[in-house]
Amino acid sequence: MKTIRSTVGIVEKFVFALCCPLAAVGLLCMVFLLTGSSVGRLLNVNQFADLQDYSSLFFFGFVMLTLAPTLIVDRHVRVDVLRGRMPPKTRAIIEIAGLLFVLVPLCLVMTRMGILATVRSYVAGEPLFDLGSSGLKWLMVSFLPLGFVGLMLAGFARMLRQLLILFDRDEPEQAVPWADA
């Protein structure tokens, strides 16, 4: 059980190290683009009008990259009407089933689609902006598969944590002891 606990900790820390800095970059890009769009509109510069559209794509990337850390620290939205009344082992079984039959297939499909879209964008050399920039749209599109890979890794760690709840009496139901520090 100690090996499983240490594996869970390693995977969770890796997901945080992967997703959080990239999400911060996406958030900064989004703020930069929104500021550029606002300044462009204020100065009547038409080339900056589309920047707001691109900022929403970076917002999507930001959201994708924050899903995994949110799942790890157990701050995601869930319907707790019946869940609160169930014993911990029943909750663990339901969560494992949801992870295996919903989250993992969704992550696999979306990761594959995201990788294909990223490669297609890279090969085509699609420009990031209509301002004549080099073919960097693949960089923005790559947030999709990165987010779903992170989410799948977070789901794997969560599943291991739920298995510990099922088979080990010492495992507390607390989400991540090191995340609040």
Q: Where are the domains of the chain?
A: 2-167
**In this predicted model, what pLDDT tens digit does every residue of 11-66 receive, in sequence order?**
999 999 989 998 888 889 888 888 888 888 888 776 676 677 777 777 888 888 89
**In this predicted model, what pLDDT tens digit does every residue of 140-175 receive, in sequence order?**
788 889 999 999 999 999 999 999 989 876 655 555
DSSP assignment of 93-142 equals: HHHHHHIIIIIHHHHHHHHHHHHHHHHHHHHHT--SSTTT--S-HHHHHT
What pTM does this model have?
A: 0.80
Which of 4, 22, 1 shows the shortest CA–CA distance to 12? Answer: 4
CA-CA-CA-CA torsion sign (106, 111, 113, 114): positive
Q: Which residue reads 């014993």 in tokens? A: 87
SS3 160: helix
